[in-house]
């Protein structure tokens, strides 16, 4: 196993593994602490103007605009950035109506974006990219294999984050969706979920199981599988709050999430992950945390609410080490 630190009662008496400290190596950029209402600020184009960020709205799945900010808070007026990039502009097609997720590639120096047309049945995904000059390239679109995967959006409860499978500048893209029986199948038991591969050249789709044949359960394995996979094939989620009675009650001492081992089929759908005052885990006073990846970082923000409470930018290797530690702590690795 890679990078495993086994916890013991003498060194870690009744304590959860500590979440990474904030990664400020890419700072400063406008809005980097991600505390602004209804917003996610991710670092701008790495080969471009220093201090820039891309802000997207995070208050409803249907709401989207992307603005390129300078460090002084002024907005870029180049290309589609002028007045804020819309879904139709970002997708390169007016049929698209919902933002699914993005990935900043530091080698290609473009922001890859995935959009959804929810008016087809099944839904149709649109894959594209945009550069700092505001030029969008529509890569391709493809209809999903069946309607059980309908409703994809950056805050969808069954959905993971857009990730590049070969690392920056290389390979296709992946996206988890946990509600299918397995692969390109309808929703239902045993809920092994689907890992959707998005072809980097033409946007075509292919499907594989997330969980192995050794897994089966009455519900999707975890909600919002936004973290991982690690080198040890651990995936996870941090919801950022505790739900009770239809209301959100942020539990500063412990929020909940989930963990799954996609090699051996062991999983914990709901576990306590900790909080800012216990082991540095972020939480929000909104509905849940929104996550997006780039080459070597995870950016956290809040869906609705006033923002995140705790650091919001984390190094990928350090976060994956924590995820493995949590899997060991909870007995699935």
- Beta-ladder partners of 198: 173, 205
**What residues contact residue 74 under an 8 Å CB cut-off, 6+ apart?**
none
pLDDT in tens, the chain (333 residues): 444 444 433 333 347 899 999 899 989 999 988 777 778 899 999 889 999 999 998 777 777 899 999 999 999 999 999 999 999 999 999 999 999 999 999 999 999 999 999 999 999 999 999 999 999 999 999 999 999 999 999 999 999 999 999 988 999 999 999 999 999 999 999 999 999 999 999 999 999 999 999 999 999 999 999 999 999 999 999 886 654 444 444 444 577 899 999 999 999 998 888 877 778 788 777 678 889 999 899 998 877 665 555 558 899 999 999 999 999 999 999
* 16 domain-assigned: no
**Helical segments of 103-192, H only:** none
* Strand 267-274 with 173-177, pairing: unpaired
Closest by CA to 163, choosing from 108, 109, 101, 107, is 101
* 285 domain-assigned: yes
Dihedral, 30, 32, 38, 44 alpha carbons, nearest 10 = 60
pLDDT score, position 47: 85
* 119 domain-assigned: yes
How remote is the C-alpha of 200 from its chain's centroid? 18
Q: How many angstroms separate the CA atoms of 157 and 220, rounded?
A: 10
**What residues contact residue 296 under an 8 Å CB cut-off, 6+ apart?**
315, 316, 317
- Look up the CATH number of the domain holding residue 187: 2.115.10
Q: How many angstroms separate the CA atoms of 82 and 86, rounded?
A: 10
- Phi–psi pair at 268, nearest 5 degrees: -125, 110
pLDDT score, position 250: 47
0.75 exceeded by pTM:
yes
Task: Give the three-class secondary structure for 261.
Answer: strand
Decide if 20 contacts 315 (C-beta within 8 A).
yes
* 215 domain-assigned: yes
pLDDT score, position 5: 42
* 266 domain-assigned: yes
Supply the DSSP symbol for 19. P
- Beta-ladder partners of 237: 258
Q: How many angstroms separate the CA atoms of 234 and 324, rounded?
A: 6
**What residues contact residue 245 under an 8 Å CB cut-off, 6+ apart?**
none
Our count of domains for the chain comes to 1
Supply the DSSP symbol for 147. G
* 185 domain-assigned: yes
pLDDT score, position 273: 85
Distances (CA, A) of 272 to 45, 146, 228, 237: 35, 34, 18, 11
Q: How many angstroms separate the CA atoms of 149 and 118, rounded?
A: 11
Supply 152's token pair.
């994809």
Q: Which domain holds residue 319?
A: 39-329
* 7 domain-assigned: no
How remote is the C-alpha of 318 from its chain's centroid? 16
* 6 domain-assigned: no
pLDDT score, position 305: 63
* Strand 308-309 with 124-130, pairing: unpaired
């Amino acid at each position: 196993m890679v990078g495993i630190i086994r916890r013991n009662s003498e060194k870690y008496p009744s304590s959860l593994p500590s979440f990474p400290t904030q990664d400020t190596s890419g700072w400063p950029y406008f809005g980097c602490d991600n505390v602004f209402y209804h917003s996610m600020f991710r670092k701008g184009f790495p080969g471009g103007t220093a201090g820039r960020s891309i802000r997207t709205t995070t208050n409803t799945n249907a709401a989207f605009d992307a603005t390129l900010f300078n460090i002084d808070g002024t907005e870029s007026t180049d290309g589609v950035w002028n007045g804020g990039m819309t879904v139709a502009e970002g997708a390169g097609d007016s049929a698209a109506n919902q933002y699914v997720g993005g990935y900043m590639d530091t080698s290609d120096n473009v922001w890859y974006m995935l959009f959804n047309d929810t008016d087809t049945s099944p839904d149709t995904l649109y894959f594209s990219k945009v550069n700092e000059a505001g030029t969008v390239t529509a890569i391709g679109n493809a209809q999903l294999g069946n309607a059980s995967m309908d409703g994809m959006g950056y805050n969808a409860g069954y959905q993971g984050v857009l990730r590049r499978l070969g690392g920056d500048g290389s390979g296709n893209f992946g996206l988890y969706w946990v509600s299918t029986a397995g692969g390109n199948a309808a929703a239902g038991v045993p809920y092994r979920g689907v890992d959707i591969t998005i072809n980097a050249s033409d946007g075509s789709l292919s499907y594989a199981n997330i969980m192995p044949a050794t897994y089966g359960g009455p519900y999707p394995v975890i909600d919002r599988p936004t973290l991982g996979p690690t080198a040890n094939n651990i995936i996870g989620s941090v919801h950022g709050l505790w739900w009770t009675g239809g209301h959100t009650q942020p539990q500063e001492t412990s929020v909940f999430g989930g963990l799954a081992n996609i090699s051996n089929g062991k999983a914990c759908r709901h576990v306590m992950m900790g909080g800012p005052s216990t082991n540095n885990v972020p939480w929000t006073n909104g509905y849940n945390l929104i996550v997006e990846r780039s080459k070597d970082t995870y950016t956290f923000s809040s869906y609705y609410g006033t923002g995140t409470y705790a650091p919001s930018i984390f190094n990928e290797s350090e976060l994956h080490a924590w995820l493995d530690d949590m899997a060991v702590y909870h007995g699935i690795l």
